[in-house]
């Protein structure tokens, strides 16, 4: 007997890649389990499986920075108790972090792909399910998006959950509606502008020389990189990332403020009497909208 749950949860995370830098992603998780019926004539109660699997995924994968620990481009080191540095060594995309260990997810692979993350999640879940569950099949997939989308990473220091981690992200569509009609050209402009972008807040910017980074960051400076530091409930977070892969906002980077920011940037390009509706998404199926007349 097989039990399936589609759209069980969404993994919103970022990962490090020598070719792309820091990449925000959103994967929808489906699961199929096989096994013998229990005393309740079930393989597993739906409410229980959803809660149990989602709890494990949220605890170990979601809203973390995924690190391909077998990659030659990655260096890591423990620092003070509960903290570590992570370095992506790349001529184009050098990235350096110092954060609590719980902000990272290490996957034994040389590259983060949908396949390597699927295998990691499957192995994570094995051994945590009831004994009558004999088979487990995990599927990660992208949302089908009709139109433009971008990959962005950020951190929300004021958030009381895992969104406070300085390097997590999303794969998000954007919809720009001018006078009731979607404008594909404007949407594509934003997809290109925020392709693999890190969105930082001005108040968190600090000289990279003041960050507590590893020796691998010795060659970067304020000409090439932005430094970010903030303290949140989970601890102190530090990041140095290339300016070419970053956009600085005067505000926090919540989806509500991102929608307002996009609207304020786009509106001057339009005729004064045009109505603009911005639908900014935060991953799959959720987001914020702003209207400017």
Could you tell me the pTM of the whole model? Answer: 0.94
- Residue 98 reports pLDDT greater than 90: yes
pLDDT at 129 over 70: yes
Dump pLDDT digits (tens) for 164-193. Answer: 999 999 999 999 999 999 999 999 999 999
Q: How confident is the model at residue 39 (pLDDT cuts 50, 70, 90)?
A: low
pLDDT of residue 166: 98
pLDDT digits (tens, 9 = 90+) for 236-278: 999 999 999 999 999 999 999 999 999 999 999 999 999 999 9
Classify 276 as helix, strand or coil. Answer: strand
Is the model more confident about 204 or about 51?
204
Residue 267 to residue 275: CA distance in whole angstroms: 9
Q: Residue 110's beta-bridge partner residues?
A: none
Q: pLDDT grade, residue 91 (50/70/90)?
A: confident
Q: What percent of the chain has pLDDT over 90?
A: 85
Q: Nearest to residue 64, comparing CAs of 35, 27, 20, 109?
A: 27
- For residue 218, pLDDT over 80 is answered with yes
- Asked if residue 107 has pLDDT above 90, the reply is yes
Q: What is the pLDDT at residue 41?
A: 61
For 54, the enclosing helix (H) or strand (E) is helix 46-60
* Residue 131 DSSP SS3: coil
Beta carbons of 116 and 135 less than 8 angstroms apart: no
Is the alpha carbon torsion for 216, 205, 209, 222 positive or negative? positive
Give the strands of the sheet with 133-141, arranged side by side.
Answer: 104-107, 65-68, 2-17, 21-35, 133-141
pLDDT at 34: 76
Contact 11, 157 (CB under 8 A): no
State how far the Cα of 146 lies from the Cα of 136, in Å rounded to an integer: 31
Per-state percent for the chain, helix, strand, coil, to nearest 5: 25, 40, 35
Q: What is the 3-state secondary structure (H, E, C) of 147-181?
A: CCEEEEEECCCCCCCHHHCCCEEEEEEEEEEECCE
Q: Mean pLDDT over all residues of the chain? A: 94
């Amino acid at each position: 007997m097989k039990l399936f749950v589609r759209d069980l949860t969404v993994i919103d995370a970022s990962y490090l890649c020598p070719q792309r830098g820091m990449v925000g992603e959103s994967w929808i998780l489906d699961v199929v389990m096989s096994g013998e019926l229990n005393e309740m004539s079930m393989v597993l109660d739906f409410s229980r499986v959803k809660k149990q699997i989602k709890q494990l995924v949220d605890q170990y994968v979601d809203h973390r920075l995924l690190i391909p620990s077998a990659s030659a481009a990655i260096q890591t080191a423990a620092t003070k108790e509960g903290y570590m540095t992570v370095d992506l060594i790349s001529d184009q995309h050098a990235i350096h972090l110092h954060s609590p260990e719980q902000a990272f997810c290490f996957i034994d692979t040389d590259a983060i792909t949908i396949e390597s993350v699927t295998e990691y999640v499957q192995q994570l879940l094995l051994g945590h399910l009831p004994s009558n569950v004999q088979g487990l099949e995990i599927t990660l997939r992208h949302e089908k998006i009709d139109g433009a989308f971008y990959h962005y990473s950020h951190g929300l220091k004021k958030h009381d959950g895992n969104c406070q981690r300085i390097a997590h992200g999303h794969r998000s569509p954007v919809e720009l509606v001018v006078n009731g009609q979607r404008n594909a050209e404007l949407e594509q402009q934003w997809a290109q502008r925020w392709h693999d972008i890190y969105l930082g807040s001005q108040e968190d910017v600090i000289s990279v020389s003041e960050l507590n980074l590893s020796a691998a960051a010795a060659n970067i400076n304020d000409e090439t990189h932005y430094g970010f530091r903030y303290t949140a409930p989970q601890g102190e977070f530090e990041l140095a990332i290339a300016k070419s892969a970053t956009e600085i906002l005067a505000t926090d980077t919540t989806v509500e403020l991102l929608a307002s920011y996009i609207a304020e940037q786009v509106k001057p390009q339009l005729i004064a009497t045009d109505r603009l509706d911005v639908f900014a998404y935060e991953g799959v199926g959720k987001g914020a909208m702003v209207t400017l007349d």
